[in-house]
Amino acid sequence: MEIKKVLTTEFKLKLEHVENIISLIDESNTIPFIARYRKEMTGSCDDQVLRELADRLEYLRNFEDRKQKIKDSITEQGKMTDEIAAVIDKAVTLSALEDIYRPFKPKRRTRATIAKEKGLEPFAVAILKQDKSFDVITSVQEYINAEVGVNSVEEVIDGAKDIISETISDDPNLRGFLRDLMKKEGLLTSKSDKTEIDESKVYEMYFEYSEAVSKIPSHRILAINRGEREDILKVSIELNDLLALNRIYLSYIKNDSSSAEYVKQAADDAWSRLIKPSIEREIRNDLTEFANSQAISMFAINLKPLLMQPPIKGKTVLGFDPAYRTGCKIAVVDPTGKALDTTVVYPTPPNNKIEESKTVLKKLIKKHDIEVISIGNGTASKESEIFVAGLIKELDTQVSYMVVNEAGASVYSASKLGASEFPEFDVSLRSAVSIARRLQDPLAELVKIDPKSIGVGQYQHDMPPAKLNTELKGVVESCVNNVGVDLNTASASLLSYISGLGASVATNITNWRNENGAFKTRTELKKVPKLGPKAFEQCAGFLRIPKGKNILDNTSVHPESYEAAKKLLELFGMELSDINTEKVGMLPSLVKLKGEAVVAEACSIGIPTLNDIINELLKPGRDIRDELPPPLLRSDIMSMEDLTPGMELTGTVRNVIDFGVFVDIAVHQDGLVHISEISDRYIKHPSEVVKVGDIVKVFVLSVDLTKKRIALSMKRKP
């Protein structure tokens, strides 16, 4: 297999670009660095394509390694032929490759190997030939041998059939056909005999359930798998046995000789005992792997917009961590994220000290000029939201609130990081600070938490941990590097996701900053312990210094391109001091007039890099999140009882899953927009239309107060 050509075809890229990407990856360049600063070499591939290509490259290399190991194993056995080698080389899937290897794979002792040890293989071969002149009953006598444990005609024939059964089972072409048959015609079924157990009610729809293997969606696969793990469901793949047996008979039964009946019996045994259970396991594993990949992909799709939500800049925020008996924890955080004040109030049951709590918060709001309240969506959130909405009505200043996802706040508050940031705070007060900061700068705060704990996926606790962690880390890394970070204020947690850095070097940066003061230039990074030339190359362009000596240090222009940026300005009679003036604003039109190719060549850079530099010179220090719609702030609340069918509301998308989206419409209970109610056009998945954090207009379809369910539609209603 020519890996480069395979990748070129699969990703529809030029061979030159694929070769460059592979070289860049092999040279230990990070995906964010390649995506941002090597566009000419990659054809401007974005980071998502680069990650997928890198994953596919690793898979294909491992696949080729497996091929070689199989060849080596067969060669060591003295059974390698040119034909076998050619078949191995042509294999394009792992299952096909393993089917080829199956007859040669060292086995534990099976019924067939035991029969071979007793000398019955020649007899089995003779039966399998089905020569009409061969008399099974007459020939069987010579294989009876008490010394090796063969004492009867029945034992000889049974041993021979075991050998034939395994021969049929090891046929790679037959296994491939039967596997495809089960995928196309099989039904995944689930049943339960524990219908009286309360815990099983969540799986009620799967008590007597079947669906085509070829059509079952990933979320149902995961639900059925979980029910099976909890010993509530019995799961299997059903297939009409005659469809499989007829194919086996066609392949192995040659005539109506006396031997053919024994071959038929062996074929029946091969299917029921060896092939069917084996390929059923394989297909179940494939279904689970597919479902896991879909769920992990869905988690990643949801995580990115959550991390990239626009920050609430320049505002002092009151973080409100709801609770019942122990009281609601309050933290006031200034626009830079510094905690100014903390307290505890008791407006929720069983204390219900509403007026007293209002008095305390009114003083804090006035003292710190608070404009926004950030409420966690956990326990007692509904009562807390009602309380805050009532409080706002009594204020003589403009204050809004927003309910934020507090998933993982308790994990952060109890972590070493939380303790190191706020050693003087109680664990619960740290959560209130985190809730406030999540509104101020979601990305900077959420990177402190294990992505799995953020709670925007489905069945994330059932996923393979390593694969999930890798995928989510890639999403966080992509977001952090796309936004860039302030080198002089970023936490070690945030810095650790920057291209070329890790936890150790990120900590060294913050330590250097604490000992030497703020960085004045990017080149000072080279003084940080363990931050060598390669790390500097990878990280420098993603780190910003807003008030540094060189204005380019506050852009995503890489230091390697500083001379090109200066040359660009000089070409049109400008210099660095003209940045942030109307003069530089003329650059795009001037470059277009002169010709992009001409200007790029004069600056010794490619056109993609030229355009990136121009964009940065126009808006130094820009935050790409500012271009997104701002979060939806509220000042009042409704209850589910206020909802009526047909009512039009505005809400925030909280989660996107396979069968729909959950939308926060400020009644504490998120409503579900089923996939069929998302768009008038056909869509395969909700993510084609919406993402987490989107502000959407919805219409109430129905409200079930008993089950606390709200059905919504995004389709325009007459």
Q: Does domain 317-456 have CATH number 3.30.420.140?
A: yes
Q: Identify the pLDDT of residue 455.
A: 66
Label residue 313 by pLDDT band (50, 70, 90). confident
Q: What is the radius of gyration, based on Cα positions, of the chain?
A: 33
Q: Tens digits of per-residue pLDDT, 403-455?
A: 888 877 778 888 888 888 888 888 889 999 999 999 999 898 888 887 777 76
Identify whether the C-beta of residue 647 lies closer than 8 Å to the C-beta of residue 639: no
Identify whether the C-beta of residue 246 lies closer than 8 Å to the C-beta of residue 219: no
Identify whether the C-beta of residue 373 lies closer than 8 Å to the C-beta of residue 320: yes
Q: Is 368 or 199 the better-scoring residue by pLDDT?
A: 368
Q: Identify the pLDDT of residue 527.
A: 96
Distance CA 672, CA 137 (A): 70
Using DSSP's 3-state secondary structure scheme, residue 515 falls into helix
Rounded to 5 degrees, φ, ψ at 664 are -80, 115
For domain 3-104, the CATH class is mainly alpha
CATH 2.40.50.140 residue ranges of the chain are: 640-713
Q: Tens digits of per-residue pLDDT, 320-365?
A: 999 999 999 999 999 988 999 999 999 999 999 999 999 999 999 9
pTM over 0.75: yes
Percent of the chain with pLDDT over 90: 73
* Residue 476 clears pLDDT 80, i.e. is over it: yes
Q: Identify the pLDDT of residue 428.
A: 82
Using DSSP's 3-state secondary structure scheme, residue 252 falls into helix
Write out the DSSP string of 557-580.
--GGGHHHHHHHHHHTT--GGGTT
Phi-psi region of 119 (alpha: psi -120 to 50; beta: other; left: phi over 0): left
- For 38-52, 116-130, 466-480, which range has the lowest pLDDT when averaged over its residues? 466-480
Mean pLDDT over all residues of the chain?
Answer: 92
Q: Which of 193, 189, 192 is nearest to 280 (CA)?
A: 189
Percent of the chain with pLDDT over 70: 98
CATH 1.10.150.310 residue ranges of the chain are: 512-627
Using DSSP's 3-state secondary structure scheme, residue 661 falls into strand
Q: Identify the pLDDT of residue 407.
A: 79
Start-to-end Cα distance in the chain:
58
Q: Identify the pLDDT of residue 716.
A: 76
Q: Identify the pLDDT of residue 718.
A: 53
Q: CA 643 → CA 347, 377, 636, distances in Å?
A: 26, 20, 15
Distance CA 480, CA 478 (A): 6
CB atoms under 10 Å from CB of 635, counted, come to 14
Q: Identify the pLDDT of residue 639.
A: 81
Q: Identify the pLDDT of residue 213.
A: 97
The tokens for 272 are 């029921």
Q: Tens digits of per-residue pLDDT, 558-613?
A: 999 999 999 999 999 999 999 988 899 999 999 999 999 999 999 999 999 999 99
Phi-psi region of 113 (alpha: psi -120 to 50; beta: other; left: phi over 0): alpha
Q: Identify the pLDDT of residue 458.
A: 65
Q: Tens digits of per-residue pLDDT, 270-294?
A: 999 999 999 999 999 999 999 999 8
Contacts of 684 (CB under 8 A, 6+ apart): none
Q: Tens digits of per-residue pLDDT, 241-270?
A: 999 999 999 999 999 999 999 999 999 999
Beta strands across the sheet bearing 372-376: 339-345, 328-333, 317-321, 372-376, 400-404
Q: Identify the pLDDT of residue 160.
A: 96
Q: Tens digits of per-residue pLDDT, 197-243?
A: 776 678 889 999 999 999 999 989 999 999 999 999 999 999 999 99
Q: Which helix (H) or strand (E) holds 158?
A: helix 153-169
Contacts of 287 (CB under 8 A, 6+ apart): 188, 213, 216, 221
Span 371-391, average pLDDT:
91
Span 164-175, average pLDDT:
96
Q: Identify the pLDDT of residue 460.
A: 67
- In the block, residue with structure tokens 């008490």: 146
Rounded to 5 degrees, φ, ψ at 98 are -70, -30
Distance CA 161, CA 635 (A): 79
The fold of 512-627 is DNA polymerase; domain 1 (1.10.150)
Distance CA 549, CA 518 (A): 12
Q: Identify the pLDDT of residue 453.
A: 76
CATH 1.10.10.650 residue ranges of the chain are: 3-104
What residues does 191 pair with on adjacent strands?
Answer: 208, 234
Identify whether the C-beta of residue 50 lies closer than 8 Å to the C-beta of residue 35: yes
Output the furthest CA–CA distance in the chain (Å, rounded). 107
The fold of 640-713 is OB fold (Dihydrolipoamide Acetyltransferase, E2P) (2.40.50)
Q: Amino acid identity of 48?
A: Q
Using DSSP's 3-state secondary structure scheme, residue 553 falls into helix
Q: Amino acid identity of 128?
A: L
Q: Tens digits of per-residue pLDDT, 660-694?
A: 999 988 787 889 999 999 999 999 899 999 998 88
Q: Identify the pLDDT of residue 456.
A: 65
Distance CA 425, CA 428 (A): 8
Contacts of 593 (CB under 8 A, 6+ apart): none
Give the burial string for 573-593 (b: 16+ CB within 10 Å, else e): ebeeebbeeeebeebeebbee
Report the Cα 486 to chain-centroid distance in Å: 27
The tokens for 247 are 């194919």
Contacts of 633 (CB under 8 A, 6+ apart): 372, 400, 401, 402
Distance CA 136, CA 260 (A): 10
Label residue 459 by pLDDT band (50, 70, 90). low
Q: Identify the pLDDT of residue 301.
A: 86
